[in-house]
Amino acid sequence: MEIEQGAGGKAAGGEGEGGNGVPVEAGAELAIASRILADLGVFDAAGHVSMRHPGNPQRFLMSRSLAPALVTADDIMEFTLESTPCDARGRTPFIERYLHGEIYRKRPDVMGIAHGHSPAVIPFGLTSTPMRATYHNAAFLAAGVPVFDIRDRFGVTDIVISSAERGAGAADALGDKAVVLLRAHGFIAVGPGIQAAVFRAVFTEISARVQLQAAALGGSIAALDAEEGRLADAINLATVGRSWELWKRRVTT
CATH number of the domain within which 198 lies: 3.40.225.10
Look over the chain and give the mean of its residue pLDDT values, rounded to a whole number: 93
Note whether residue 16 is domain-resident. no
Q: What is the pTM of this model?
A: 0.93
Number of domains in the chain: 1
Note whether residue 4 is domain-resident. no
pLDDT at 253: 85
* Digit-coded pLDDT (tens) for 185-213: 999 999 999 999 999 999 999 999 999 99
Note whether residue 13 is domain-resident. no
Profile the chain (253 residues) by mean pLDDT over runs of 10 residues.
Answer: 37 54 95 98 96 97 98 97 96 98 98 98 98 98 98 98 98 98 98 98 98 97 98 98 98 93
Note whether residue 152 is domain-resident. yes
For residue 26, give the H/E element and its range. helix 24-39
Note whether residue 9 is domain-resident. no
121: containing domain: 24-252
Note whether residue 10 is domain-resident. no
Nearest to 8, CA basis, from 197, 190, 240, 177: 240
Note whether residue 216 is domain-resident. yes
Note whether residue 90 is domain-resident. yes
Catalytic positions are 96
